[in-house]
């Protein structure tokens, strides 16, 4: 079973003293199994957002150690900053990342609160999905009045803490522990220094909106409903919280937002709405800023949105799509945007890498590694690389056709083909290393101890599982390479005539990948005990190979006809 992973994003009320921040992050990094992904201090907010990821138990241990260190080093009675706060470790939300549901994450949040109270003597509240009462779901409600209100608030039975002693700790304050969906902290930069104007725009866009006034919308009395409660005018964007503030270190006002569900309001939608509302108030958006990390899909969705606005093909590399997103939303306005640090999947991969992947090598290095005395990479990885090259050529023709002068009305047609080709070459690139990993697993299985009957049985089971995987990987290479031949065929038929030979070369490479991968399927078949499974795989593999050979002939015929004409 795959390992459960949760993200933990504790916010500490210290953003100026690097030595204190370092001691807290050192405490986190002292826990085995936890990966520290991001440390984002803010001078004006006097707050540091830390992002870590790992299995639940190590993450909880890291959070407890960090809270203990924060309690030792941070004095809330002397704290000031732009951001709302009421504790040294102000909030500590847990976010399900992989192989764990929200329902499974909530008990871990409750366990964390219990440990903070029992082991560190910290008091606090559970919020969002971890809240034990509906009133405490909203963090802003829990934090109302901030640190300064705690002496009085903690005496109110209605606000008895969910964990810890429940008394006022002058130096520490309290902590909010939550379980929540992935939250994106996102700030939009304005060409003004006016907090008032930034706030007005924030009220325009945030879901909560603003209080309704009678008569004059700026100075009139606040409107009340029949029960005497304030009437609110909702803002434009669902699942968005926001305020306006001035950031002294950059000399600009910002709309500071928490996007609590980016499937409802994506980052690019929030950015565009802020632009529209700002312009209506005579203010211009100059760019934006991500605090902490963002999922890769959110960046790809943003980049594709802006490519569509330009009538450009979406079948370009992820790196190009991300670059378009960064430039379109001005994410490099205040400082360089580094995808390997700000995109969560890239950050995990960069910190979790245990060795250099084949796909990260230069072409020269990959060829030399293949030619060396090592047994891997072998024919399976090379077949996958051939398939990726073939898919890339088909994708290239689609992208060129989408951008061809005079074919503007057909950009989306070719973009769709380019996206299909891109999906193929991205998968085939991954399979290059998967094939080598599968070979290494076979070698590891043969190296297991086999002295007793139990050990022999365990070794044989491991060998059988690894051998099946070493067959399944090249079989996927066959399937994906055949799939990309459809792109090559379409581009030979309808693509830019000047690039028809590229479609033909793509078909040659893809057919070679299919046949090469089938050789690997067959050579790994020896010793497989599950003959019924093996017979089915070999039969399907033979069918794929025959289809690839026939399709190659058809594509080459089309190419030759186009060249001859």
Q: CA-to-CA distance for 74 and 86, rounded, in angstroms? A: 12
Catalytic annotation, pick one of 38, 40, 79, 83: 83
Q: CA-to-CA distance for 88 and 174, rounded, in angstroms? A: 7
Whether residue 78 contacts residue 102, with contact meaning beta carbons closer than 8 Å, is answered with no
219: which residues sit within 8 A by CB, 6+ positions away? 213
Euclidean distance between the first and the last CA atom of the chain, given in angstroms as a whole number: 57
Per the structure block, which two tokens stand in for 232?
């609110």
CB burial string 365-396: b at 16+ within 10 A, e below: ebeebbeeeeebbeebbbbbbbbbbbbbbbbb
Residue 1's pLDDT is what?
40
Catalytic annotation, pick one of 38, 204, 435, 502: 435
Residue 376's pLDDT is what?
79
DSSP letter for each residue of 290-339 = EES-B-HHHHHHHHHHHHHHTT--S-S-HHHHHHHHHHHHTTTSSS---H
Strand partners of residue 176: 91, 125
Given a cut of 90, whether residue 161 has pLDDT beyond it is yes
Instruction: Please name each of the domains of the chain with its CATH number.
Output: 5-179 (3.30.990.10), 184-348 (3.30.70.670), 355-564 (1.20.120.680)
Dump pLDDT digits (tens) for 85-111: 999 999 999 999 878 999 999 999 999
* Mean pLDDT (whole number) for 517-522: 96
Q: Which of 180-184, 374-378, 520-524 has the highest mean pLDDT?
A: 520-524
Q: CA-to-CA distance for 1 and 144, rounded, in angstroms? A: 42
Residue 99's pLDDT is what?
83
Given a cut of 90, whether residue 426 has pLDDT beyond it is yes
This prediction's pTM: 0.78
Is position 83 annotated as part of the catalytic site? yes
Is position 435 annotated as part of the catalytic site? yes
Residue 182's pLDDT is what?
85
Pairing of strands 184-190, 89-98: unpaired
Token pair 């500490």 in the structure block, residue: 12
Residue 57's pLDDT is what?
97
Strand partners of residue 184: 259
- On average, the pLDDT of the chain sits at 94
Residue 352's pLDDT is what?
60
Element counts in the chain: helices (H) and strands (E): 17, 13
Whether residue 174 contacts residue 124, with contact meaning beta carbons closer than 8 Å, is answered with yes
Residue 524's pLDDT is what?
92
CB atoms within 10 A of CB 487: 31
Cα 114 to chain centroid, rounded? 30
Dump pLDDT digits (tens) for 200-253: 999 999 999 999 988 887 778 899 888 989 999 999 999 999 999 999 989 999
Dump pLDDT digits (tens) for 538-558: 999 999 999 999 999 999 999
Dump pLDDT digits (tens) for 124-146: 999 999 999 999 999 999 999 99
Given a cut of 50, whether residue 452 has pLDDT beyond it is yes
Q: CA-to-CA distance for 439 and 425, rounded, in angstroms? A: 22
Residue 353's pLDDT is what?
56
Q: Tell whether omega for the bond before 377 is within 30 degrees of 0, i.e. cis.
A: yes
Give me the phi and psi of 233, to 5 degrees please: -100, 115
């Amino acid at each position: 079973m795959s390992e459960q992973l949760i993200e933990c994003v504790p916010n500490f009320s210290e953003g100026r003293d690097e030595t204190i921040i370092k001691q807290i992050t050192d405490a986190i990094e002292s826990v085995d199994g936890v990966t520290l992904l991001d440390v984002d201090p803010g001078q004006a907010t006097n707050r540091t957002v830390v992002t870590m990821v790992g299995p639940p138990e190590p993450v909880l241990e890291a959070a407890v150690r960090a809270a203990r260190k924060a309690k030792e080093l941070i004095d809330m009675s002397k704290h000031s900053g732009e951001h709302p706060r009421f504790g040294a470790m102000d909030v500590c939300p847990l976010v399900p990342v992989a192989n764990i549901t929200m329902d499974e994450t909530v008990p871990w949040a409750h366990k964390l609160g219990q440990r903070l109270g029992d082991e560190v003597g910290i008091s606090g509240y559970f919020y969002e999905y971890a809240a034990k009462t509906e009133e405490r779901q909203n963090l802003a409600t829990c934090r109302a009045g901030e640190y300064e209100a705690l002496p009085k608030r903690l005496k109110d039975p209605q606000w008895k803490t969910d964990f810890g002693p429940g008394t006022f700790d002058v130096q520490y304050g309290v902590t909010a522990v939550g379980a929540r969906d992935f939250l994106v902290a996102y700030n939009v930069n304005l060409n003004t220094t006016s907090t008032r104007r930034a706030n007005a725009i924030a009220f325009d866009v945030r879901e909560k909106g603003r209080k309704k006034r009678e008569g004059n919308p700026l100075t009139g009395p606040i409107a009340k409903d029949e029960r005497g409660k304030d009437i609110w005018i909702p803002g434009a964007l669902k699942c968005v919280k926001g305020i306006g503030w001035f950031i002294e270190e950059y000399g600009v006002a910002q709309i500071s937002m928490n996007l609590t569900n980016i499937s409802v309001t994506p980052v690019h939608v929030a950015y565009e709405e802020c632009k529209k509302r700002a312009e209506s108030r005579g203010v211009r958006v100059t760019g934006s800023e991500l605090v902490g990390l963002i999922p890769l899909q959110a960046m790809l969705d943003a980049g594709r949105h802006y490519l569509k606005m330009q009538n450009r093909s979406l079948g370009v590399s992820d790196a190009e799509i991300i670059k378009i997103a960064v430039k379109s939303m001005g994410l490099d306005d205040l400082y360089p945007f580094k995808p390997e640090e700000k995109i969560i999947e890239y950050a995990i991969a960069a910190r979790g890498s245990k060795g250099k992947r084949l796909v990260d090598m230069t072409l020269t290095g990959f060829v030399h590694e293949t030619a060396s005395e090592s047994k891997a990479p072998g024919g399976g990885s090379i077949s996958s690389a051939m398939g990726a090259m073939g898919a890339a050529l088909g994708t290239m023709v689609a992208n060129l056709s989408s951008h061809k002068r005079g074919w503007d009305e057909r950009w989306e047609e070719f973009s769709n083909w380019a996206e299909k080709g891109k999906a193929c070459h991205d998968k085939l690139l991954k399979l290059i290393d998967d094939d080598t990993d599968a070979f290494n697993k076979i070698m590891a299985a043969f190296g297991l101890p086999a002295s007793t009957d139990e050990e022999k049985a365990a070794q044989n089971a491991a060998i059988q599982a690894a051998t099946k995987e070493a067959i399944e990987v090249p079989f996927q290479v066959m399937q994906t390479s055949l799939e990309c031949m459809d792109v090559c065929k379409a581009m030979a038929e309808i693509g830019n005539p000047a690039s028809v030979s590229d479609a033909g070369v793509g078909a040659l490479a893809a057919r070679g990948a299919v046949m090469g991968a089938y050789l690997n399927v067959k050579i790994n078949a020896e010793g497989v005990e599950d003959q019924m499974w093996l017979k089915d795989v070999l039969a399907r593999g033979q069918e794929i190979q025959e289809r690839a050979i026939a399709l190659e002939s058809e594509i080459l015929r089309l190419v030759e006809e186009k060249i001859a004409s």
